[in-house]
Structure 1
Amino acid sequence: MSTAPVSREIQLVDNPRGLPAPEHFRVAEVPLPRPADGQVLVRNRQFLVFAGLRTLVSRQGEGFPVPPLKPGEPLLGPALGEVVDTGRGVTDVPVGALVTHMLGWREYAVVDADAVRVVPAGHPDPVALLSTASAAYGTLTRLARLRKGETVLVTGAAGGVGSLAGQVARLLGAGRVVGTTRSPGKAERLRRELGYDAVVVPGPEPLADRLAEAAPDGYDVIVDNVGGDQLTAALEVTRTGARVGLVGALSGQFDPALAGGTSPAAIDTYLLIRRSVALLGYQGGDHPGVEEEWHEKLAEWLRAGDIVHPYVALPGMERAPGALQELHQGRHFGTLVVQV
């Protein structure tokens, strides 16, 4: 008897009340999917582990671009893979093409052909296309409109977005780039490998004081990946006319006491008024063309050696159930992916 072909995927077992742990997920075998008309079958190579999954699995994702996940459903997110089969009517995504799409956390995915992005031949680092750092690029170019010589602060600088955000700020003309991270070891790597001028590690002393020491004249632009107390402190050291882009909400997504869909911060609105500070949230859908522009710039900078894309690849689907916990615990530097 022949055995029907199967694919493995990471399914949600139940919605965690606190931070998700390996027991909230399972590696499940499902029938190998087949592409219908207008679809392609992709064998995934890598998929992204990202903080927003905490919101999706906790069912706190009202207003999120995708609906919250229910028990038994597979996880999803950015993935890189090879097209191994196509349905009828697909002409511009050939078998063998390397593509990115949004159905990660599984070995094989059936995706509408118009929902995949073909990786250009000769791309210097296709895994970099899984990074969500386009949000930082969009913030710096659309919201903040960074000007040459300005001082930039990136909170959560050692994560997948922050590790690229500081480098991008420098390439766009920033005069001084400061980051925050909770790990002294990561702080050293940010300075040594990624060119941050200074990195602040929160400690017992007031964070605003530490940030002021790193940039005595204050900050013109803030790329905030964290929110919470770090955002509160960052706003205290803004300069007049500063622009603050809210990119992430790690303080809420990594807090076991919160539900995963909120990230509160204390903000002195009078300070914002006095200094004419702009506080804006970044949503990629509000800025058409940024994603394509970012991918072109990223490839150009990678090819020229002007930017470094640090990432960690966890080998095997067996590591996937614990990957989100490892992200919450801050075990890794840069982008985190699972290597299928």
Structure 2
Amino acid sequence: MVKNRQWRLISFPSGRPEASNWELVETEAPEVAPGHLLVKALYLDVAPYMRGRISPQPNYAAGVGLGEVMVGGAVGRVLESRSPGFAAGDLVVADFAFGWQEYAVLSPGDVRRIDPALAPLPYWLDLFGLNGLTAYFALFDAGAMKAGDTVLISAAAGSVGQIAGQLAKLAGCRAVAVTSSAEKAAWCREAGYDAVIDYRAAADLPAAVAEACPQGVDLFLDNTAGPIHDAAMQNLALDARVVVVGTASLADTFGAPDTGPRFLRQILVARATVCGFLFSDYAARHEAGRARLRRWYEAGRIHSKFDIAEGIASMPDAFLRLLTSRNLGKQLVRLEGD
């Protein structure tokens, strides 16, 4: 019987998560039920949304309970299929249903078959997965991005941000990055951003945004909340749009009231629109968005950087690396032997 190593949540973080919140256990790989697939992970996803899933506070999706396998996506290989639509050897991607483990039994509805000839495997958890579609729909739909906009993007060197900056340039916009180090700033410039703000080096962040966006911010893609959000709100252009995709800076304060500054006057004067964004709201259009992203990728107009850790044992450390902004590009874990 194949052994399956998996990470289970054993305690809820009281603040910032620690490796001790999870336990690595070894079990037997589950049997394949009729109509299902046994999949072996090749790459496991590491994503900011996972922080919200390990809080006992209410969230937009069900959380991970104590003793349960940590949620997450994966690219994997089908080892056994009891579904007529798949065969052993097929490569598939699961956006959420796989979990932090080496093997999973999945239903056909949990996975998509992928073509490694089109793009390397990591891209299927990035540009052609949650991150690419988030950037695409948040900008073009929720944010009504149009040519000539000044688009400000926080966490600009991360998984969503690096794609969003390139999409903004493809749309004929001025793309302005907010990131957290000189190394990340260099990657943002390489990815095509017109201006880059290192918020940790900025003595006055609102002034730095004003300098980088002299005509104001037409569209703000907010991946962080917190002080970066505050700086953007003080620099809104007329008819600005603010799309809240993530709140990474508030990740350790779930359930606490948001007592930061309020910007109702700025919203009023700019006649701005502020909205929240969830990837799942666009499920009916994911394939159309993915097809457009694929055309840009095949034309060589979008590329990604990856930060890849090795082995199932590295999952908690890779996740903490992401939460503390030490990753450069999309964070993934590659399993041993693959």
Same fold (TM over 0.5): yes
Q: Which residue of 2 aligns with 1:20?
A: 17
**How has the CA–CA distance of structure 1 residues 50 and 262 changed in structure 2, closer, same or farther, with 3 Å as cutoff?**
farther
Matched, 1:64 2:63: no
Q: Give the superposition deviation at 1:79.
A: 0.9
Q: Give the superposition deviation at 1:38.
A: 1.5
What value does the CA root-mean-square deviation take over the aligned residues? 1.8
SS at match of 2:140: helix
The aligned amino acid for 1:221 is: L
Q: Give the superposition deviation at 1:122.
A: 2.2
Q: Which residue of 2 aligns with 1:280?
A: 275
Q: Is the 8 A contact 2:236 2:266 kept in 1?
A: no
Q: Which residue of 2 aligns with 1:225?
A: 223
Matched, 1:44 2:46: no
Q: Give the superposition deviation at 1:123.
A: 2.0
The aligned amino acid for 1:310 is: K
Larger RCO (CA under 8 A, 6+ residues apart): 1
Q: Give the superposition deviation at 1:265.
A: 4.4
Q: Which residue of 1 aligns with 2:150?
A: 151
Structure 1 residue runs of 4+, over 3 Å off?
A: 259-265
Distance 1:57 1:36 in 2: 28
Q: Which residue of 1 aligns with 2:88?
A: 95
The aligned amino acid for 1:171 is: L
**How has the CA–CA distance of structure 1 residues 288 and 73 changed in structure 2, closer, same or farther, with 3 Å as cutoff?**
closer
Q: Give the superposition deviation at 1:305.
A: 1.4
* 1:9 aligns with one of 3, 6, 10: 6
**Identity percentage of aligned residues:** 30
Give the total of aligned pairs: 328
**How has the CA–CA distance of structure 1 residues 261 and 108 changed in structure 2, closer, same or farther, with 3 Å as cutoff?**
farther
SS at match of 1:161: helix
Per the normalisation by structure 2, the TM-score is 0.92
**How has the CA–CA distance of structure 1 residues 274 and 22 changed in structure 2, closer, same or farther, with 3 Å as cutoff?**
same
Q: Give the superposition deviation at 1:247.
A: 0.7
Q: Is the 8 A contact 1:45 1:81 kept in 2?
A: yes
Q: Deviations over 1:257-290 (max 9, x none)?
A: x247876642311211121101011122322434
The 5 A counterparts of 1:130-149 are: 130-131=125-126, 132-133=130-131, 134-149=133-148
**How has the CA–CA distance of structure 1 residues 325 and 25 changed in structure 2, closer, same or farther, with 3 Å as cutoff?**
same
Per the normalisation by structure 1, the TM-score is 0.91
The 5 A counterparts of 1:292-303 are: 292-303=287-298
The aligned amino acid for 2:304 is: H
Q: Give the superposition deviation at 1:218.
A: 1.0
